[in-house]
């Protein structure tokens, strides 16, 4: 709601103005109240509202009384004055007409006299000078006086006088302008409040200095840093900020900003920027931005902690897994069932099949999804580091230990999930310690006697055959049984060829966005080359090749040559791989984690047809028979 106070110039105009206002109020969400005051009342009156509309001498008096409320003039229109001049000629046959009043009204007459082809005498007059100005007009030979209500009242009874009346359009125009003025001021107030909030709550100290070198504003941070009060506003910056005097002078001279100057003030170190306000080629002011080095270091430490905390959460869900094959569909359904309980899950699969993706999805599908998800690669740490990382350590446990000690990943994962990747690489001597924690749900920090209870769900992953490692004595049988409560096998990519193109297309879109490419077509021959490749590196290798293709491909289509160039270093390399595959030999470094289980899955998939299984594996049927006999013994 906008509250408008309209001061009618005289009592006789009130009714007409009120009728115009009533019609306006009915169509707008505003409130206009009409008042009539004489000059003495206005001088002592306290007027409240969002905006005041007044005319002539009333407006001059209100302007003297009120400084915090915007004023809009009830301007006299050209039509109003023309009508008054015509009335003067018709009623009094006036030959020399005087227009008397405030400058705004009198100046509007200049064009009117040209239109009417009549000479009008113009007299500027303040309200205190009216009697004197009227006498001067009489002495000049004026025989009719035109003006507002104050002029009309001051004329002698025998004077020819015409009152400039207010037209409907004048009133409506003034109300429109009042509404625009209030809306504009309110928007400016909102903008100013936003900027003030930004400045006041900025961690940077901000001090604005005008073209005279005077401080015009200072925010809370600057006051806090420099021990200054709001009273510095209006003072010379060079006297208040002596440490920055040279910097300010240099910016004034060059018109170029200076950044990251280091100053020591009140035993604290600050980094200061000085930025000019350039209007064209002229510098009209500068702004100092002051940062506490101590606070910067504290913020960096806090950010590092938050980043670490963010890493302790699972990003992926089952919905993020891209697949078309029944093998992965069944794997996901099985994983969802596992997610409903808290028992350990042991995830088997070759390198690059997405074991951690499945582990994170299980966590986010479980009742623990609100808790932390913490993963650790067991192959990356030595036995001593692995123990302190998983169990934590107490103050002074070893040389270089943090003061106060540090919690281990079991404690950090309390209420959530701990993912032990490459569990097969845990040193044999440490396996018993891990087993005890899994059995007791308690940890003891290195160097401490205190036992800490933990509630952690264990997900483990391996790309090796743990059963064989147990037989050979490389992995403890009791730990294997403790971890292998819910086994989950992730089939390699070559066993689910129907997933390859969907994954490749997804990776290609990802790299299109990253490298600003527009590869949208994969030719049929390219698709055949992609699906024919064995992908021993699984999805990790597929993703690498998709990136390579995105970088090397020309145009918007991927063809067979692009795929082969990304897959093989040279043709000879391809031939060697093909020959090896035909002989049924395993590629170096890509031994099956459980070949019998994989062959059994394929037999199920192909309905027991050994010929199709052998073709899928790229080996002879006789080689398949030999493998089955060997693996079953």
pLDDT of residue 368: 93
Query: Based on the domain organization, do 318 and 430 belong to the same domain?
Result: yes
pLDDT of residue 584: 40
Angstrom distance (rounded) from CA 631 to CA 502: 33
pLDDT of residue 192: 75
Query: Based on the domain organization, do 210 and 271 belong to the same domain?
Result: yes
pLDDT of residue 586: 40
Query: Based on the domain organization, do 579 and 555 belong to the same domain?
Result: yes
Query: Based on the domain organization, do 323 and 444 belong to the same domain?
Result: yes
Cα end-to-end distance, the chain, whole Å: 91
Q: How many CB atoms lie within 10 A of CB 548?
A: 16
Q: In this structure, what CATH number is given to the domain that contains residue 9?
A: 3.40.50.2300
Which residue in 42, 25, 70 sits closest to 149, CA to CA? Answer: 42
Angstrom distance (rounded) from CA 17 to CA 238: 57
Per the structure, the complete domain to which residue 428 belongs is given by 312-489
pLDDT of residue 572: 39
pLDDT of residue 310: 52
Instruction: List, for the chain, all residue ranges whose pLDDT scores fall below the cut of 50.
Output: 569-593
pLDDT of residue 26: 62
Do residues 614 and 622 lie in contact, with contact meaning Cβ atoms separated by under 8 Å?
no
Location of structure tokens 């980094």: 271
Angstrom distance (rounded) from CA 121 to CA 144: 10
CA distances from 494 to 130, 530, 559 (A): 104, 11, 21
Query: Based on the domain organization, do 513 and 583 belong to the same domain?
Result: yes
- Identify the sign of the CA torsion 229, 235, 241, 247: positive
Query: Based on the domain organization, do 435 and 518 belong to the same domain?
Result: no
Please compute, for residue 436, the number of CA atoms within 13 A of its CA located in the half-sphere on the CB side: 12
Query: Based on the domain organization, do 365 and 455 belong to the same domain?
Result: yes
Query: Based on the domain organization, do 366 and 446 belong to the same domain?
Result: yes
Q: Is residue 323 part of a domain?
A: yes
Residue 12 dihedral angles phi and psi, to the nearest 5°: -65, -20
Q: Is residue 303 part of a domain?
A: no
pLDDT of residue 631: 67
Angstrom distance (rounded) from CA 289 to CA 296: 14
Q: Is residue 472 part of a domain?
A: yes
Q: In this structure, what CATH number is given to the domain that contains residue 122?
A: 3.40.50.10660
Angstrom distance (rounded) from CA 617 to CA 624: 9
Classified as helix, coil or strand, 587 is coil
Query: Based on the domain organization, do 337 and 441 belong to the same domain?
Result: yes
pLDDT of residue 578: 44
pLDDT of residue 448: 86
CB-based burial label for 529 (10 Å; 0-12, 13-18, 19+): buried
Angstrom distance (rounded) from CA 298 to CA 303: 9
pTM, rounded to two decimals:
0.49
Domain count, the chain: 5
pLDDT of residue 488: 95
pLDDT of residue 484: 94
Query: Based on the domain organization, do 157 and 281 belong to the same domain?
Result: no
Q: Categorise residue 589: left if φ over 0, alpha if ψ from -120 to 50, beta otherwise.
A: left
Query: Based on the domain organization, do 371 and 468 belong to the same domain?
Result: yes
Query: Model confidence over 452-509: pLDDT tens digits?
Result: 999 999 999 999 999 999 999 999 999 999 999 999 999 999 999 999 999 999 999 9
């Amino acid at each position: 709601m906008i509250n408008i106070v309209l001061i009618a110039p005289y009592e006789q105009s009130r009714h007409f103005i009120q009728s115009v206002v009533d019609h306006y109020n009915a169509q707008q969400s505003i409130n206009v109240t009409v008042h009539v005051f004489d000059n003495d009342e206005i001088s002592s009156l306290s007027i409240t509202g969002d905006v005041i509309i007044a005319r002539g001498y009333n407006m001059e008096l209100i302007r003297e009384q009120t400084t915090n409320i915007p004023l809009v003039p009830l301007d006299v229109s050209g039509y109003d004055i023309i009508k008054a001049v015509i009335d003067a000629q018709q009623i009094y046959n006036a030959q020399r007409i005087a227009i008397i009043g405030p400058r705004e009204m009198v100046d509007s007459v200049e064009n009117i006299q040209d239109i009417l082809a009549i000479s009008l005498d113009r007299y500027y007059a303040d309200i205190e000078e009216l009697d004197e100005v009227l006498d001067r007009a009489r002495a000049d030979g004026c025989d009719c006086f035109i003006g507002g209500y104050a002029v009309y009242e001051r004329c002698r009874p025998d004077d020819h006088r015409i009152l400039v009346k207010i037209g409907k359009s004048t009133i409506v125009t003034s109300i429109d302008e009042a509404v625009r003025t209030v809306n504009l001021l309110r928007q400016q107030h909102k903008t100013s409040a936003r900027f003030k909030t930004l400045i006041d709550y900025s961690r940077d100290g901000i001090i604005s200095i005008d073209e005279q070198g005077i401080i015009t504003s200072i925010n809370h941070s600057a006051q806090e840093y420099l021990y200054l009060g709001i009273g510095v506003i209006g003072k010379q910056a060079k006297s208040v900020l002596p440490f920055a005097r040279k910097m300010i002078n240099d910016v004034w001279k060059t018109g170029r900003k200076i950044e990251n100057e280091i100053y020591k003030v009140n035993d604290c170190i600050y980094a200061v920027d000085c930025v000019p306000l350039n209007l064209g080629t002229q510098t009209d002011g500068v702004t100092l931005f002051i940062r506490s080095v101590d606070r910067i270091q504290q913020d960096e430490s806090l950010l590092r902690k938050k980043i670490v905390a963010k890493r302790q959460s699972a990003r992926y869900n089952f919905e993020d897994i891209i697949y078309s094959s029944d093998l992965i569909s069944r794997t996901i359904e099985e994983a969802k069932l596992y997610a409903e309980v808290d028992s350990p899950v042991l995830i088997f699969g070759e390198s690059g099949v997405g074991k951690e993706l499945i582990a994170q999805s299980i966590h986010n599908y479980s009742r623990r999804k609100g808790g932390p998800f913490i993963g650790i690669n067991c192959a990356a740490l030595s036995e001593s580091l692995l123990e302190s990382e998983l169990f934590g350590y107490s103050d002074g446990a070893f040389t270089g230990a943090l003061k106060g000690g540090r919690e281990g990943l079991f404690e950090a994962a309390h209420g959530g999930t701990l993912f032990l990747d490459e569990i097969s690489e845990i040193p044999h001597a440490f396996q018993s310690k891990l087993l005890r924690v899994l059995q007791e749900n308690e940890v003891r920090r290195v160097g401490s006697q205190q036992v800490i209870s933990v509630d952690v769900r264990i997900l483990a992953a391996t790309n090796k055959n743990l059963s064989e490692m147990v037989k050979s004595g490389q992995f403890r049988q009791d730990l294997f049984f403790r971890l292998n409560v819910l086994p989950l096998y992730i089939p390699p990519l070559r066993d689910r060829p129907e997933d390859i193109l969907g994954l490749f297309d997804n990776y290609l879109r990802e790299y299109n966005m990253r490298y600003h490419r527009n590869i949208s077509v994969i030719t049929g021959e390219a698709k055949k080359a992609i699906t024919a490749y064995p992908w021993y590196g699984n999805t990790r290798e597929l993703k690498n090749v998709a990136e390579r293709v995105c970088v090397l491909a020309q145009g918007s289509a991927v063809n067979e040559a692009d795929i082969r160039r990304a897959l093989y270093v040279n043709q000879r390399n391809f031939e060697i791989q093909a020959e090896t595959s035909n002989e049924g030999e395993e590629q170096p470094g890509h031994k099956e984690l459980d070949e019998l289980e994989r062959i059994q899955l394929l037999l199920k998939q192909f309905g027991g047809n050994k010929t199709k299984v052998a073709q899928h594996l790229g080996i002879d049927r006789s080689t398949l028979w030999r493998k089955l006999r060997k693996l079953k013994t």
